[in-house]
Amino acid sequence: MRLLDACWTLNQEHGHRTRILQASSAEIFGNAAAEPQDETTPVAPVTPYGAAKAYAHSMVDVYRRRGMHASSAILYNHESPRRPTSFVARKISRAVAAISLGIQADLSLGNIDALRDWGYAPDYVEAMLLIVAQESPGDYVVATGAAHTVRDFVAAAFRHVGIDDWEAHVVIDPELYRPADPRALVGDSTRLQGLGWRSTVGFEELVALMVDSDLAELADQDAGLAQRGSVG
């Protein structure tokens, strides 16, 4: 709200033509009745995060109606090796890499049947740059349109390191279940594709590059520890 108001002031009082893009979230749709979701799907969040994003999404529309160049990129899950391990995709890739190297014994997860639309973060940055460059502002869903469960992500990660019996390494912890969690978030990016955008990294490739990055990082850590030990 403060960013929008600051841009509005620059526009109205100082003549600076500013553009603003809000990184919205698929969580604004909550437990949507239809799959996939698009820009016309009703906003009905079921989590505090989703509600906060829904408010920001609404305020972007308010200022756009006033004539400001304000857009929302409705981002579905976007991942890369830069994700903190507090996010489930990176938590999985890091744990799988560690398990394959004998550093870690198992992986604790909550609901592994949640359905999500996972894409590659750099692709989504390209989408945001494309959206804000448009002559007319608007809202755009940024998604791959492919649905996978957390279970699928886990299986793909373990498969990448040659472990087929992944269930033996996964512990389902009821404490990790969220009080409310959208059941299925899958996006329809047809409108964005009309601007020429395409997702360039598929699901299996995304999982593999995240696991490979964690394998390399853990190997570097081991090498560093070994070097310090030899010096000592």
DSSP secondary structure letters along 92-150: HHHHHHHHHTTS---EEES-S--EE--EEHHHHHHHHHHHHTSSS--EEEE-----EEH
Kindly list the strands in the beta sheet with 19-25, ordered across the sheet, starting from the edge strand earlier in the chain: 19-25, 69-75, 139-142
What is the length of the chain?
A: 232
pLDDT at 229: 61
Q: In the annotation, is 27 catalytic?
A: yes
Strand pairing category for 69-75 and 19-25: parallel
pLDDT at 180: 75
Average pLDDT over residues 71-83: 96
Alpha-carbon distance values, 58 to 50, 63, 105, 172 (Å): 12, 9, 45, 37
CB of 119 closer than 8 Å to CB of 87: no
Q: Residue 228's pLDDT band (boundaries 50, 70, 90)?
A: low
Name the catalytic one among 13, 24, 35, 49: 49
Name the catalytic one among 24, 25, 71, 93: 25
Domain total in the chain: 1
Residues 42-51 have pLDDT tens digits of 999 999 999 9
pLDDT at 32: 92
Name the catalytic one among 24, 27, 63, 199: 27
- Report the C-alpha gap between 140 and 15 in whole angstroms: 27
- Identify the domain containing residue 217 by its residue range: 2-231
Neighbours of 203 (CB within 10 A): 19
Percent of the chain clearing pLDDT 70 (strictly above) = 95
- CATH classification at residue 28: 3.40.50.720
**Which segment of 102-106, 180-184, 204-208, 212-216 scores lowest on mean pLDDT?**
180-184
Would you say residue 219 has pLDDT above 90? no
Answer left, alpha or beta for residue 196, where phi above 0 means left and psi between -120 and 50 means alpha. Answer: left
Structure tokens given for 28: 């604004």
pLDDT at 223: 61
Average pLDDT over residues 117-123: 97
Average pLDDT over residues 83-93: 94
First vs last C-alpha separation in the chain: 55
Average pLDDT over residues 185-203: 97
Closest-CA residue to 154 (of 75, 78, 199, 94): 94
State the residue for tokens 């398990």.
99
Q: Residue 103's pLDDT band (boundaries 50, 70, 90)?
A: very high
Residues 149-190 have pLDDT tens digits of 999 999 999 999 999 999 999 999 888 877 777 878 999 999
- Report the C-alpha gap between 6 and 171 in whole angstroms: 48
Q: In the annotation, is 49 catalytic?
A: yes
- Report the C-alpha gap between 43 and 72 in whole angstroms: 13
